[in-house]
Amino acid sequence: MANVIEAEGLKRSFGDVEAVRGVDLTIGEGEIYGFLGPNGAGKSTVVKMLTTLLSPTSGSARVFGLDVVEDAGRIRLRIGAALQDASLDDKQSGREILTMQGQLYGLTKSEIAQRIDELSTLVEFEAIDRWIREYSGGMKRRLDLAASLMHNPDLLFLDEPTTGLDPSSRARVWEEVRALNSELGTTIFLTTQYLEEADELADRVGIINKGVIVGEGSPEDLKRSVGADVIQVRLADTGDSASHIIDHVTRVEGVDHVERGPNGLLVSVSNGAAAVSPVAVALDGAGAQVRELTLRTPTLDDVFLELTGDRMEVGQ
């Protein structure tokens, strides 16, 4: 599998602020790569560098083997991107936006008409001649996606494609992303702050926090790194006794590690069913007032907490 994206030591500063502090990436052809991180983690800055919109302060990046600074023009012919906040012109119609997009990519009139027809399930036929300001948020996102697909790109960047969408529109975008990848082999670089989205779509996930990739792997591998199962403990009041309780629980056989979580503890265990009772006993022995105790499989949120010590905070 050839590498479509290769980045080494990619950095970008804005004045004194280091938005991206040394990112290494290798993404293969046909992959869906999920780039996960909270608001302000540096996701969009990385996307802007890889899509040639922004030059790196230092480090290098190659897309299809072409340097993002030296060969920007050739890269642009092969990539498509739907950036954050559907970037459209409210006073144009959907057809006008798509036509202009086709013209900028050198498509002929008949090719543009053919392409609009092919993308017609993304942009409803009855809406395509209406001004974009009359579109709903979901329709704008889908038109933005259609615009980024007009020239049949081999690599598609989707920067938080479903942020702010209702569940039904989100599901529709997910369906389209999966289809693009599985049917056409389009490589997809997807940034998201939704753990569920990365889990659902990505073959591999890179977790970025404060401008640095802190973890990378398939969602399953990442989750496995936390432990086979997670016991989520909600406590009435952790107060000053939290460390004492954590010490007690950590000593239980089968417990991999214990993290302080929201309103309680997250206990990673190799065998949840076997560990629930001993953990409950240890909590009781430590004098913890347990409100709720839940056994579940780990999520990417647990991975994020494990790697960064913080919960993902999703911005709107």
Partner 1 sequence: MSSTTATVTKRAHSTLQAKPSGFMSDIVTVAKRALRAIPREPEAILPALFIPTFFYIVNIGALEDLTESFPGTPGFDYREFQLATGIIFAVTGISRATALVTDIQSGYFDRLLLSPARRLPLLLGLMVADFSLVIALCIPVIVLGLVLGASFGTGVLGVAMFILIGASWGLAFTGFPYAIALKTANPGAVASSFLLFFPFAFLTSSTVPLDALTGWMRTIARFNPITYVLEGMRSLLMDSWDWATIGKAFLAIAIVGVISQTLALSALRGRVARG
What residues make contact with partner 1 under the rule CB under 8 A?
48, 51-55, 73, 76-79, 81, 83-92, 96, 100-101, 103-107, 111, 114-115, 117-122, 147, 149, 151-153, 175-176, 179-180, 183-184
Cα–Cα distance for residue pair 182/296, rounded to 1 Å: 30
Tell me how far the alpha carbon of residue 191 is from its chain's centroid: 4
Q: How far is the CB of 250 from partner 1 (least distance, A)?
A: 47
Q: Are 33 and 206 contacting, i.e. CB atoms less than 8 angstroms apart?
A: yes
**What is the nearest approach in angstroms of partner 1 to the Cβ of residue 311?**
29
Minimum CB distance to partner 1, residue 68 (Å): 12
Q: How far apart are CA 15 and CA 29, in angstroms?
A: 35
CB of residue 92 to partner 1, shortest distance in Å: 7
Q: Is 79 left (phi over 0), alpha (psi -120 to 50) or beta?
A: beta
Q: Which is nearer to partner 1, 23 or 231 (CB)?
A: 23
The span from the CA of 93 to the CA of 104, in Å, is 17
Task: Compute how many other C-beta atoms are within 10 angstroms of the C-beta atom of residue 65.
Answer: 12
DSSP-derived pairing of the beta strands 229-235 and 264-269? antiparallel
- Beta carbon nearer to partner 1, 148 or 308: 148
Q: Please state the closest distance from residue 203 (CB atom) to partner 1, in A.
A: 18
Q: What is the phi/psi pair of residue 290, to 5°?
A: -85, 125
Report the distance separating Cα 303 and Cα 312, nearest Å.
10
Q: Which is nearer to partner 1, 89 or 221 (CB)?
A: 89
Strand order in the sheet with 17-28: 17-28, 3-14, 58-63, 66-67
| Closest separation in Å from C-beta 33 to partner 1 | 19
Residue 43 or 115 with smaller CB distance to partner 1: 115
Nearer to partner 1, 200 or 256 (CB): 200
Of residues 176 and 229, the one with the C-beta less far from partner 1: 176
